[in-house]
Structure 1
Amino acid sequence: MIERIIKSSLESFNLNIPGTAYYDPQLGSLAQYYKEQLNSKYWVAVNKQNEVVGGVGITSLGQERGICELQKLYITPEAQGKGLAKDLMKVALEFAKEHYTHCYLETLKKLQTANLLYIKLGFQQLDRPLNGSEHNATDAWFLKDLSN
């Protein structure tokens, strides 16, 4: 279900292109993927009908010590605008604080609403991606110090 949400969201922005999460090989098995990674986790949100309406993940950023990556934050259109992305991020960041000193994320400038949320939650915009980035189609990168 989360794979469909991720792909539909990317399609809605014409971002079903190489270099985005659209082509990540683990999309069909996110639960297994995050379970196999050290200090990693993926959360899903469900509505009152017990339908999956969004999700977010935390995992280490390649070989960067102490840095995790907030990944695959996607919400269905019906569930957007209700604070769900913010709630998911807060849960993910609390988990991240237990294992990492910084949290990185990559996105696109055209996703303005998401970028404003990241800034509101204390992320600082970077000029370039950190080493270990898998998505070369992104053009906006953020980092949050988890110690404060």
Structure 2
Amino acid sequence: MEELYFISSDKSLLDLDVIHKFLTYDSYWAQGITKKTVATSIINSALCFGIYKKNSNKGIGEQVGFARVISDLSTFAYIADVFVLEKHRGKGLSKKLINEIMVHPDLITLRRVMLATKDAQGLYSKFGFKELNNNPNLFMELKRTL
């Protein structure tokens, strides 16, 4: 059976409207984010991954998922803005997306990969991510309200 979805790290395929709509209305972490900010974050991220549903003539169809990787591509990466649109969930797409990120040749040798999640620990733990329980004071943040 042919796959109905594919994942690409080609930024030119990304649908900014789909990404912005999800982040500003459906995410818990980026409510109200501007389209300009989303566009700038994509441009300045080392890698972005889109999940696409193939259309009936085997071409590129609609974008149904996204993740971006902020990285120096040498030692460190931060995975952000991961989502699969609700009507496409339950098909293993988030696992395929994270796997694609984890095996990407530019990321596979990084010493540290981080992310933050409120509700997807089960997904990320399958790929070796762990909570910072052993040293919670290791990381600090500066959070600004703009």
Q: Aligned partners of 1:97 and 1:48: how far apart in 2?
A: 27
Aligned length: 115
Return the offset for 1:120.
Answer: 1.5
Query: Aligned equivalents of 1:126 and 1:93: distance in 2?
Result: 20
Percent identity at matched positions?
19
User: Which residue pairs with 1:66 in the alignment?
Assistant: 75
1:54 equivalenced with 2:65 (yes/no): yes
1 CA distance for matches of 2:86 and 2:121?
17
TM-score by length of 2: 0.65
1:8 maps onto 2:25 in alignment: yes
Instruction: State the Cα deviation string for residues 55-93 of structure 1 (Å, max 9, x = none).
Output: 1111128xxx82211111011001111111111111111
Structure 2, unpaired ranges of 5+: 1-17, 56-60
Distance 2:144 2:91 in 1: 28
Structure (1 or 2) with the larger CA radius of gyration: 2
**Greater relative contact order (Cα 8 A, min sep 6): structure 1 or 2?**
1
For residues 58 and 131 of structure 1, the distance between their equivalents in structure 2, rounded to whole angstroms, comes to 20
Structure 1: give runs of 5+ residues left out of the alignment: 35-39, 137-148
Verify: 1:104 aligned to 2:121, yes or no. Answer: no
1:32 aligns with 2:43: yes
Shift in alpha-carbon separation, 1:70–1:46, aligned structure 2, 3 A: same
Change (3 A) 1:79 1:23: same
Work out which of the residue numbers 106, 125, 131 in structure 2 matches 1:119: 125
